[in-house]
Amino acid sequence: MAVVLGHALSARAQVLGPKITLSGVIDSVTTAASNVFDGDYTRDKDSAWTARSRGRYRLTADVEPLQLLAVLELEVDFLWGDTGNPSDTGRGFSLNGAFTPTVNGIDVIEAKSFYVEFPLPRPHSAPWIPYTTARVGGQPFRTTLKPSVLATGDYAGVSLESEICGAWTFSLVCDDARVSFTYAQLDESLAGARPRPPGGDRGDDFFTFLAVTYPIPIDRHAFRVVPRLFWAYLDAEGTTAAPARCRIACAGLPLNGRDPPGTQAPPGAPEATTGNFRPGSNEYRHYFGVDGTVEIELGRSGKIHIDPTAIYMTSTADVYGRPGVPAASPCGPERDIRCPTGPRQISRARSWLVDLRAGWYCYGPCLDETWVGDVVRLGSGIHLEGLFMWTPGDASQHNLFRKNRVYHPIDTDSDYLNGWNEILATGSVDYLTGNSAHGMGENVGLGQYGRLQVGARLTWDAYQYWDRALSVHLKWSSAWTDEKVDTDAGSPQQDNQSGSFGNVPCALLEANCRPGNNRRGDASYIGTETSIGITYQFHRNIVFDVVGAYLFAGPALDSTVRQADGVLVKRSAKDAQLASARLRFRF
């Protein structure tokens, strides 16, 4: 009896006890690039060859009968070799540390996720209450179906997923029907009541997201339509963690929350609280959007997928500028946005983002391969995709402090259009090097000028012709700004490493512009990028990727630079090249 009872208790403990799982990836990446690392496309002397490693480890504790889940995900980045700068050991990107012969270690282990997931109580007497799962803690965003268009990355807060099926059934097709809610705490005010001490300009900023996903009942096997309607809201006060509230910095205007002492402080304000966003400066931002996917089965001719996204953004914000000054001041007689008539203005933004991606893919039968009944054997495959995106911008002479059309996401994790570009976005192989010079992966648009881009991508899976999984990737894309960039706009700093798209336009601050400028935009063509890559999975857990990319830089990336003698000189953008290789181990 004792033996039987012991086995029963042991079995019960095994059932109710957590199942511990460790998974993750370890990447070893090397990149050689020219005219990519710094922020100046007109200076092509920044050639470098670097190597680094990243490890991401995911530890989960899963109690299956109770559907309880605890997750801890850690990330480590380090460079191969020490650069002498412990806070930024990579060029063009920040890492945790470096491995050297004398210092075999790192300084920081980054926690990417740290949350618990569990079902909310649901009384048996109330079957109409939807089955809801909650996540609490530091976690990745679960917002739009397409990543990096609104909120991607990690945050601290709560998310809820409610299944509509089982509670209410409006149709026979009920797969993936759900209601999603997210609350993210972006900043926390710990300084107490006003007046706050210097630097205590953080508010209790938060972001909420509500979405409904419900498949349209057409034909679940041949024609599948899954729309996702959502609304999101940002409430911000004072300085807010970038990039959630970078409306000023991203638009080529003074930095979010800070500016050189005295340049924008209203009368009597301490220098520590100068800037566009200060205590009492509020913003209320709304997003209305639709996201979804359409899949059309073509039988032996393959499958078509269409992934549209449309987001409309509206916001109202308090911004601060310098007090009014005489017309004879260096600000110029136009009394531009850097010299408004009063210290406070209401800035209104109305913008949108349209992102359409579509593709056709087929395996086996499209290449005249044999079928066994209704199942195709493993063989070659082709995936052809197209891209169109557009977000508006503002003309160089437009006063952005009053109205603007610049789209600002909450957080794209710097990954917008990841996989479509290697230089104009974070790369598919090296996800840290590209995008550092222009910021379009984070801000979507180029400065205040918006963005329009078209592209195509072809993937050929050559399973039939190789003993392991081998894929070849070809990519092309061309990009323009919605409004012309004022490439005559310079910087007050000497030899500033940034394009003119990030400087205050000449119509608004002529002091930093070269003589003879037209006070208007000059160019909109950003450039054309092409790339070719290979993915080779020579082991079940090991994948090798290599890619080469070339950017034909356009005149929108030109810049005006202040030389050592103070003279402003305009320089033309030069082409950029990049080659990356990565060895990835999954476990």
Q: How far apart (Å, rounded) are the C-alpha atoms in residues 507 and 517?
A: 9
**Omega before residue 243 within 30° of 0, cis:** yes
Instruction: List the CATH number of the domain containing 426.
Output: 2.40.160.100
> Is 134 contained in some domain?
yes
User: Confidence band (pLDDT; 50, 70, 90) for 242?
Assistant: low
Tally Cβ neighbours within 10 Å of residue 370: 9
Q: Would you state the torsion angle of the CA atoms of residues 547, 110, 439, 417, taken in this order, to the nearest 10 degrees?
A: 50
Residue pLDDT, tens place only, 398-425: 767 678 888 989 988 888 998 899 998 8
> Is 3 contained in some domain?
no
Contact 51, 30 (CB under 8 A): yes
Which of the residue ranges 95-109, 145-159, 237-251, 256-270 would you say has the lowest mean pLDDT? 256-270
Work out the end-to-end distance of the chain between its first and last CA atoms, rounded to an integer number of angstroms. Answer: 43
> Is 1 contained in some domain?
no
pLDDT of amino acid 545: 95
Dihedral pair phi/psi, residue 403, rounded to 5°: -140, 145
> Is 388 contained in some domain?
yes
CA 457 to centroid of chain Cα atoms: 20
Q: How far apart (Å, rounded) are the C-alpha atoms in residues 296 and 305?
A: 6
> Is 35 contained in some domain?
yes
Using the predicted structure, report yes or no on whether residue 275 has a pLDDT greater than 60. no
Using the predicted structure, report yes or no on whether residue 64 has a pLDDT greater than 70. yes
Q: How far apart (Å, rounded) are the C-alpha atoms in residues 494 and 487?
A: 17
Using the predicted structure, report yes or no on whether residue 100 has a pLDDT greater than 60. no
> Is 336 contained in some domain?
yes
201 membership: H or E segment, kind and range: none
Q: How far apart (Å, rounded) are the C-alpha atoms in residues 77 and 95?
A: 5
Please tell me which of 213-227, 403-417, 508-522 the model is most confident about, judged by mean pLDDT: 403-417
Beta-sheet pairing, 344-363 with 381-391: antiparallel
Which of the residue ranges 189-203, 223-237, 259-273, 569-583 would you say has the lowest mean pLDDT? 259-273
> Nearest Cα to 549, choosing from 457, 480, 464?
457
Q: How much of the chain, in percent, has pLDDT values that exceed 90?
A: 33
By residue range, what is the domain housing residue 132?
26-586
pLDDT of amino acid 96: 58
Dihedral pair phi/psi, residue 154, rounded to 5°: -125, 150
> Is 18 contained in some domain?
no
pLDDT of amino acid 377: 42
**Omega before residue 195 within 30° of 0, cis:** yes
Over residues 102-109, mean pLDDT: 60
User: Confidence band (pLDDT; 50, 70, 90) for 432?
Assistant: confident
Higher-pLDDT residue of 186 and 157 is 157
For Cα atoms 342, 348, 354, give the angle at the middle one, nearest 5 degrees: 150
Task: State the Rg of the chain over Cα.
Answer: 27
Using the predicted structure, report yes or no on whether residue 174 has a pLDDT greater than 80. no
Work out the mean pLDDT of the chain and round it to a whole number.
77
Using the predicted structure, report yes or no on whether residue 83 has a pLDDT greater than 80. no
Higher-pLDDT residue of 252 and 20 is 20
> Is 64 contained in some domain?
yes
Using the predicted structure, report yes or no on whether residue 279 has a pLDDT greater than 70. no
Name the DSSP letter for residue 557. Answer: G
pTM over 0.75? The answer is yes
Number of domains in the chain: 1
Q: How far apart (Å, rounded) are the C-alpha atoms in residues 263 and 254?
A: 10
Q: Which two tokens stand for residue 131?
A: 């089955």
pLDDT of amino acid 253: 42
Using the predicted structure, report yes or no on whether residue 138 has a pLDDT greater than 70. yes
